[in-house]
Amino acid sequence: MSNAKKTPRFYIGLAAGKLAATALTALRRNGGQVPGYLAEHIDPDFLAHVDKPEHIVFVTGTNGKTTTSNLLDDLLVDNGFDLLTNRAGGNVANGIESSLIKNARLSGAQRKSYACMELDELSSRLVLPHVTPEILLVCNLYRDSFMRNANPDYIFDVISRNVSPETELILNADDLISCRLAPQATKRTYFSVAQLPDDTTEPQGIVSDLTACPQCGAALEYDYCHLRHLGRAHCTKCGFANPEPDFEVTRVDLEAKTFTVRENREPGAPEHDYHIETYSITNLYNILAAVVTARRLGVPADDIAHSLANGINITKLRYSAEEAGGMRLVNVAAKGENSTATSTAIQSICREPGDKAVVFIMSDYYLATSPYSSEYTGWYYQTDFELLNDPQVKQVVVVGARGEDLMLRLRLAGVSADRVSLVPDAEAAAATLDLHGIEGVFVAYDIFNGDQATRCRDAVRARIEAGEDAAEQAHAAQEQPQAGADQPAIATDVPADQGAGAVVEVLYPEFGNQAGDNGNALYLRACLPGATFVETHYGDEPAFATRDVSAVVLGGMTEAHQQLAARALMPYASRLAELADAGVPMLFTHSAAEILGTSFGTPGGGRQDGLGILELSTRLDMPKRYLCSFVGTFDPADGTDPMTILGFKIQFTQMRGNSATSPFAKVERGWGLAEGSSFEGLRRGALIATWVIGPLLATNPDFAAWFCRQVTGTEVRVAFEKEARAAYDVRHAELTKPLPKGKTINP
């Protein structure tokens, strides 16, 4: 039921929504959000007014919520629940409204008493104030698309503050981020996976969402790690640790395709075995979450086990394998712009037996056709492409509009040029594959590119079934013109001693890695292999405090880490200013730039003192995101010709500063310190503070060459110049093309 009083506008909106749903069904169209959109347009408080089922389960999180929600739906229906779902409606507010409309009578009363629905994590701020679920299952919180979800702290805050104290939370005890959600909700159930043979002793990946204690910022010590930051850890300073699980996987039998769950809160801690059709650690977490939720809804363990053993299991939509001529053809879905999902897909591929070729179709094919969008690729620098150096990966083929950017990232990951090809489409990828001597072709694809992946696999199958000589076909394909083939070949590396004698300090790499900002240090290492790189971790004394350094770099970070970094660097503020004025080059990007000012805003409306190195103050507005593509002119003012800087900006902040006298770049497209301002970033001496996010150096090779020259005092050649310039040229043409009045290009 709903406690809000229904108005005539509500009934009109409900009728319009039901009419729209009927019309869409008659036209055999989905239009899942349309009924909700119409109803809300008529009655802006429709979600508050509409009646709700008596029992509601929401499933949310950044990874796995669709898989888990669909499996939970199937489990409950198989066990007699007359269930309302939102599979056809969508997981945002209008989609949930549409599902409620379809289930409602004309009076507004709901027909079904149980609902199990997926909830988009950002939409929780719109839905949870009006819908109080009986259970909220949160699978996990990882970094997702930065353009959409910013950082895990932001998503944590959005969900946490909107959870009702009446709701039971089902949380992943192995995730020290999401397990802390909503302390006001005291009914909590935790699930966990005990230590497994493949676990590591440290967080996995080029970046981790949790390397410091979320309570005090001190170092975390891991006992074991299953996936990314999921595992058991404790703080070395304050003792913060994982909560004890109520449901715990104690054994996994890969041969029998079973896993055992111990129910710790039950008398005698009984154990139950369940079937898992396609094993991976992500599938194990997803199926465990669904099992735990079904148990909390009262479904007997034996009945759940029966369902899982008899056809109800993890969908094969995200992983499908076929065979042709004795060769495995496997399509593995990932989530575009999501480094965790893509890294997990690569890890799964590399763990498959045998020599293999890998095709990447990661850029959103349909988004790339829009003249007013440009996909942000900073997430490539947070994805573990280094895994592809596995000797069993014989060939890598890159497909899509952002292929040049991915080619550069693969080179930085150590993947040799002779193993990588760039092609325009799925059919060209299939033709380029050298099928000789390999046992499998794996296609990793963005979830919106499923048809592309299918076309690629079908074309490979056709080659095999036609009995083509694999080696001859591959040779012929390589002779065909391909994207980037007209670029002159250059050396694949720079001189090994380039940068010798230079000392580059990377401050707080465990913090400063949001949005791909870690790519700046990664590219500097490639450009200056002879330099000494010093990583200063939180709690350590900075190297610049007591010794000469040639450069200092700090990347963007979460709001919580931003506050910790500012406090840690405060004793060294005058030293930083002294070095900047003395000509030591420094690069502070995104939120790292804000700590250099006099003060900056903090979540909740507070303010914190900055280092006072720049004439800058920051206003924080968390609910609003300022997002744009950026084109600007950087004038080094040292006799070097001005150069065009390309990039993207996304932030919750607006700045006030003396940009007219010391800007980083003059804005040509996009906006600068504040929306509509003419100058972006600030300079003081050799220090550059900019809000252009991601791998700024890697994506702007002229600027990278200039910055490296400041570090070394000599001319340098940037690393993988062919790939860097190819990516820059494509982006330059895209972001500077003439546009109709009022139109912009945004990520």
Q: Enumerate the β-bridge partners of residue 29.
A: none
Residue type, 142: Y
pLDDT at position 90 is 87
d(CA 253, CA 251): 7
CA atoms within 13 A on the CB side of 292: 36
Rounded CA gap, 287 and 390, in Å?
29
Beta-ladder partners of 403: none
Question: Does residue 716 contact residue 709 with C-beta atoms inside 8 Å?
Answer: yes
pTM of the model: 0.88
What interhelical angle do 152-160 and 559-569 show, nearest 10?
120
- The pLDDT value recorded for residue 487 is 36
Per-residue pLDDT, 350: 93
Tokens 């400041």 belong to 710
CA distance 121 to 116: 15
Residue type, 679: F
Tokens 């009984």: give the residue: 270
Give the residues across from 505 on adjacent strands: 534, 552
Q: Which amino acid is it at 383?
A: T
| Token duo for residue 477 | 């394909």
Contact between 527 and 708 under an 8 Å Cβ cutoff? The reply is: yes
In the prediction, which pLDDT does 676 show?
Answer: 83
DSSP 75-118: HHHHTT--EE--TTT-SSHHHHHHHHHHHB-TTS-BS-SEEEEE
- The residues spanned by each domain of the chain are 8-191+279-309, 319-479, 503-735
Mean pLDDT of successive 10-residue segments in the chain (747 residues)?
A: 79 93 81 88 95 96 90 96 89 94 91 95 94 96 75 87 96 95 96 95 85 82 92 93 97 96 96 92 94 98 97 77 93 86 90 95 78 87 95 95 93 94 95 95 92 95 81 44 37 82 96 93 97 95 97 94 95 97 97 95 90 93 84 93 95 78 91 90 96 96 98 96 95 92 80
- Residues with Cβ within 8 Å of residue 589, at least 6 apart in sequence: 512, 517, 520, 554, 555, 556, 689, 690, 691, 692, 693, 696
Q: Which CATH architecture has domain 8-191+279-309?
A: 3-Layer(aba) Sandwich (3.40)
Residue at 437: amino acid letter: G
Do 319-479 and 8-191+279-309 have the same topology in CATH?
no
Given this model, what pLDDT does residue 123 score? 93
In this prediction, residue 341 carries a pLDDT of 87
Closest listed residue to residue 536, CA positions, set 565, 562, 507:
507
Two tokens at 66? 């669709």
Selected from 3.40.50.10680, 3.90.190.20, 3.40.640.10, 3.60.21.10, the CATH number assigned to the domain covering 319-479 reads 3.90.190.20
Number of Cα atoms under 13 Å in the Cβ half of residue 184: 9
Residue 115 pairs with which residues in a beta bridge?
Answer: 56, 84
Is the CB of residue 694 less than 8 Å from the CB of residue 653? no
Q: Which CATH architecture has domain 503-735?
A: 3-Layer(aba) Sandwich (3.40)
